[in-house]
Amino acid sequence: MSSNLPPATAAGAKNKPLSPFRKRGSLQYAASTADLRGARHLLTSQHSLPGIPVALKQSIDLRTSMDGKYKEIAEELFSRTLAESEMRSAPYEFPEDSPIEQLEERRHRLERQISQDVKFEPDILLRAKQEFMKTDSATDLEYMKDQSQDPDLQERDPIPVREYQRVAISGEEKCGVPFTDLLDAAKCVVKALFIRQKYMGLSLQSFCKTTARYLQELSEGPLDLDIYEDEIPETAGAADSTVHPPVSKMHPYENQDLASMPHDMGYGCKMVDGVMHVYTARNIMENCDVANRSTELDLPYPDLREYIADMNVMMALIINGPVKSFCYRRLQYLSSKFQMHILLNEMKELAEQKKVPHRDFYNIRKVDTHIHASSCMNQKHLLRFIKRAMKKYPKEIVHVERGKGQTLMEVFETMNLTAFDLSVDTLDMHADRNTFHRFDKFNAKYNPIGESILREIFIKTDNHIEGKYFGHIIKEVMADLEESKYQNVELRLSIYGRCRDEWDQLAKWAVKHQVYSSNVRWLVQVPRLFDVYHTKKQLCNFQEMLENVFLPLFEVTVDPRSHPELHLFLQHVVGFDSVDDESKPEQHIFNLDSPLPVNWTEEDNPPYSYYLYYMYANMTVLNNLRRQRGFHTLVLRPHCGEAGPIHHLVSGFLLSENISHGLLLRKAPVLQYLYYLAQIGIAMSPLSNNSLFLSYHRNPLPEYLSRGLVVSLSTDDPLQFHFTKEPLMEEYSIAAQVWKLSSCDMCELARNSVLMSGFSQRVKRSWLGPHHIKEGQEGNDIRRTNVPDIRVAYRYETMCEELNLITQAIRTDELETIEEEGSLCMGAVQAEK
Ligand SMILES: [Zn+2]
Pairing between β-strand 573-579 and β-strand 635-636 as defined by DSSP bridges: parallel
Position 414 scores a pLDDT of 87
Mean pLDDT, the chain, whole residue set: 81
Position 107 scores a pLDDT of 63
pLDDT range class, residue 19, cuts 50, 70, 90: very low
> Helix, strand, coil: what percent of the chain each, to 5?
55, 10, 35
Tell me how far the alpha carbon of residue 206 lies from the centroid of ligand 1, in angstroms: 22
Position 513 scores a pLDDT of 92
- Residue 591 · residue 75 · CB < 8 Å: yes
Other CB atoms within a 10 A radius of the CB of residue 305 amount to 12
Q: Is the pLDDT of residue 27 over 60?
A: no
Position 77 scores a pLDDT of 77
**Residue 147 identity:** Q
Handedness of CA 551, 554, 556, 558 (dihedral sign): negative
- Give 226's DSSP letter: G
Position 737 scores a pLDDT of 95
Tell me how far the alpha carbon of residue 639 lies from the centroid of ligand 1, in angstroms: 7
| Dist CA 483 CA 334 (whole Å) | 40
Tell me how far the alpha carbon of residue 642 lies from the centroid of ligand 1, in angstroms: 9
| Dist CA 615 CA 592 (whole Å) | 17
Using H for helix, E for strand and C for coil, what is the string for 372-441?
EHHHCCCHHHHHHHHHHHHHHCCCCEEEEECCEEEEHHHHHHHCCCCCCCCCHHHHCCCCCHHHCCCHHH
Tell me how far the alpha carbon of residue 582 lies from the centroid of ligand 1, in angstroms: 11
Give me the percent of the chain exceeding a pLDDT of 90: 53
Position 230 scores a pLDDT of 45
Q: Is the pLDDT of residue 293 over 60?
A: no
- Residue 624 · residue 299 · CB < 8 Å: yes
Give the number of residues written for the chain.
833
| Dist CA 475 CA 485 (whole Å) | 15
pLDDT tens digits, 603-661: 899 999 999 999 999 999 999 999 999 999 999 999 999 999 999 999 999 999 999 99
pTM for this one? 0.81
Tell me how far the alpha carbon of residue 640 lies from the centroid of ligand 1, in angstroms: 10
Give me the percent of the chain exceeding a pLDDT of 70: 76
Tell me how far the alpha carbon of residue 792 lies from the centroid of ligand 1, in angstroms: 29
pLDDT range class, residue 515, cuts 50, 70, 90: very high
Position 381 scores a pLDDT of 93
Tell me how far the alpha carbon of residue 717 lies from the centroid of ligand 1, in angstroms: 7
Position 780 scores a pLDDT of 93
Tell me how far the alpha carbon of residue 532 lies from the centroid of ligand 1, in angstroms: 20
Position 56 scores a pLDDT of 46
Question: Which residues are catalytic, by number?
Answer: 661
Tell me how far the alpha carbon of residue 697 lies from the centroid of ligand 1, in angstroms: 20
* Burial of 144 per CB tally in 10 Å (0-12, 13-18, 19+): buried
Tell me how far the alpha carbon of residue 279 lies from the centroid of ligand 1, in angstroms: 37
- Residue 704 · residue 677 · CB < 8 Å: no
Position 833 scores a pLDDT of 41
Tell me how far the alpha carbon of residue 696 lies from the centroid of ligand 1, in angstroms: 17
Tell me how far the alpha carbon of residue 462 lies from the centroid of ligand 1, in angstroms: 21
| Dist CA 491 CA 367 (whole Å) | 11
Mean pLDDT across 19-38: 38
Query: Burial code of 532-548, b = ≥16 C-beta within 10 A, e = fewer?
Result: ebbeeebbebbbbbbbb
pLDDT tens digits, 742-769: 999 999 999 999 999 999 999 999 999 9
Query: Burial code of 378-406, b = ≥16 C-beta within 10 A, e = fewer?
Result: bbebbbebbeebbeebeebebbeeeeeeb
Angstrom distances, CA of residue 475 to CA of 278, 517, 571, 574: 37, 8, 18, 19
Q: Is the pLDDT of residue 62 over 50?
A: yes
Tell me how far the alpha carbon of residue 670 lies from the centroid of ligand 1, in angstroms: 25
Position 656 scores a pLDDT of 96
Q: Is the pLDDT of residue 122 over 50?
A: no
Tell me how far the alpha carbon of residue 207 lies from the centroid of ligand 1, in angstroms: 24
Tell me how far the alpha carbon of residue 371 lies from the centroid of ligand 1, in angstroms: 6
Q: Which domains does the chain have, with CATH numbers?
A: 19-88+122-156+166-229+303-336+790-832 (no CATH), 360-787 (3.20.20.140)
Position 109 scores a pLDDT of 67
- Residue 729 · residue 738 · CB < 8 Å: no
Mean pLDDT lowest among 100-109, 757-766, 783-792 = 100-109
Tell me how far the alpha carbon of residue 575 lies from the centroid of ligand 1, in angstroms: 15
Q: Is the pLDDT of residue 149 over 50?
A: no
| Dist CA 683 CA 371 (whole Å) | 10
Using H for helix, E for strand and C for coil, what is the string for 121-149?
CCHHHHHHHHHHHHCCHHHHHHHHHHHCC
Among 702, 652, 667, which residue's Cα sits nearest to residue 328?
667
Q: Is the pLDDT of residue 497 over 80?
A: yes
Angstrom distances, CA of residue 249 to CA of 232, 252, 254: 21, 9, 11
Position 638 scores a pLDDT of 97
Position 430 scores a pLDDT of 83
Could you give the count of Cα atoms lying within 13 Å of 211 in the half-sphere of its Cβ?
23
Position 257 scores a pLDDT of 76
Mean pLDDT lowest among 51-65, 158-172, 339-353, 584-598 = 51-65
Tell me how far the alpha carbon of residue 136 lies from the centroid of ligand 1, in angstroms: 42
Question: Angle between the 647-655 and 304-318 helix axes, to the nearest 10 degrees?
Answer: 130
pLDDT range class, residue 164, cuts 50, 70, 90: confident
| Dist CA 539 CA 114 (whole Å) | 64
Q: Is the pLDDT of residue 825 over 60?
A: no
Position 70 scores a pLDDT of 79
Tell me how far the alpha carbon of residue 23 lies from the centroid of ligand 1, in angstroms: 51
Position 66 scores a pLDDT of 72
| Dist CA 185 CA 213 (whole Å) | 20
Using H for helix, E for strand and C for coil, what is the string for 779-823?
HCCHHHHCCCHHHHHHHHHHHHHHHHHHHHHHHHHHHHHHHHHHH
Tell me how far the alpha carbon of residue 766 lies from the centroid of ligand 1, in angstroms: 28
Mean pLDDT lowest among 115-124, 346-355, 506-515 = 115-124
Q: Is the pLDDT of residue 213 over 80?
A: yes
453 contacts: CB under 8 Å, gap ≥ 6: 399, 411
Mean pLDDT across 109-138: 50
pLDDT range class, residue 437, cuts 50, 70, 90: confident
